Chains A and B, each alone.
Chain A
């Protein structure tokens, strides 16, 4: 089987705030034999524009899909939001002839045409479907035995189900299985499939903070040492905002939030500094000393 090759779609939030996710993802994918090609050109996936104008979102997304079609490469995203929108647009334009004609009418103005020849995948899907559990297992050199973590898969790589049809949205197992391959224990907790709330933080902070506080309550209750995410929005909600959530509810949380590639990278034997663990807001000091000790 030839090595998988993808066009990397970084999105906006990762280069803006979370290069730690990009750095660690590039490291592990390179080692696992996934070749990444840089986008020749870029615009936002379209997700934040959907509330303004649905056609605007569709056309922005379709333009990125057209760029991938020209290179004859499938897209790999690290962000749940980018995956959700690019995958939704790709599927709808492939299936709905009338919608495709409409969007192609807009794209004609910039000299492009959607043909429907590529697929969109999130990092998690590439690890599960292309790399495979066996290869990941073999790449683990320093199993993270005795580490107890929890996962937050997020929404847009599982819901709406009819547009994705991969993992189970009610009980997502892809990320759990990927975590267990590192040797760490992945603990179940209450309401683990629930949204992080970040998409509305620009209009209302109170609700997302309450949602995050409740999630942390459930994570602390099972005795987890860390939370593992695969989306920059979810990560910002739980890591970057953690001190503010602590302040708002007058509580101590202290749960480090790692991007999955950072966890896998540690198990693969990368030194922590190569995985940009120092860039996390909540420092994983105890966790690292336990791994290295």
Chain B
């Protein structure tokens, strides 16, 4: 560090902490046991993503939820690096479902901050259009006949649209902003 630079410690300010946040989160399915986390760090140690990322740390996410650092959590794109392998869930000595907490935080980020990775918006839009999350080209359907495979089952797009509507997903996706990539 050069002498001209002033050292600024990474301080958490009291007003950043929302004491109710951990209680709100613990009511959501998958995050019920957040209060049981005693910060042993097994999740981070065994996480295959953390080994290759400087930013994704499940233990830190759990602590930040306990501290109520909602703004920091919901503006942290590293949340999108969890690959849902569930190693953390299987290895946690307190049976905290870390991957479930990450999913709850992703859902909350989209709902409250209106921002999500582009790829998931594209998958959702394909699903609404075709019933499948990838748009299967006509050539594929023709090839199936040549290969002696049965026709693909037809989607029921009315039902899919209705499910998006009644679960509040259409509204969530309406004005959502997107970003493309997340840093390692």
Contacts and interface: CB of A to CB of B under 8 A. Distances in A.
A276 B150 CA distance: 16
Contact of A109 (B28, B166, B169, B173): B166
Nearest to B144: A19
Contacts of A59: 163, 166-167
Interface stretch (A36-44, A123-131, A181-189, A248-256): A36-44
Contacts of A60: 160, 163
Nearest to B46: A194
Interface of A: 10, 12-13, 15-17, 19, 22-23, 26, 38-44, 48-56, 59-60, 63, 99, 106, 109-110, 155-156, 159-161, 169-170, 194-195, 197-200, 202-204, 206-208, 210-211, 276
Given A15-B132, A53-B167, A59-B167, A41 B153 contact: yes
B49 A52 contact: no
Contacts of A41: 153-156
B74 interface: no
Interface string B164-184: 101111001100000011111
A156 B149 CA distance: 27
Contact of A40 (B53, B84, B133, B153): B153
B45 interface: no
Given A207-B52, A207-B81, A51 B103 contact: yes
Contacts of B107: 51-54
A10 B151 CA distance: 12
Contacts of B86: 155-156, 159-160
Contacts, number: 183
Contacts of A200: 49, 80-83, 182
A14 to B, nearest CB: 10
B85 A203 contact: no
A53 B147 contact: no
A159 B85 contact: yes
15 contacts: A12-B133, A19-B140, A38-B150, A42-B132, A44-B127, A49-B123, A51-B80, A53-B167, A109-B166, A156-B86, A159-B86, A161-B90, A170-B90, A200-B83, A202-B120
B83 A199 contact: yes
A43 B168 contact: no
Contact of B147 (A19, A52, A55): A19
B140 A49 contact: no
B118 to A, nearest CB: 8
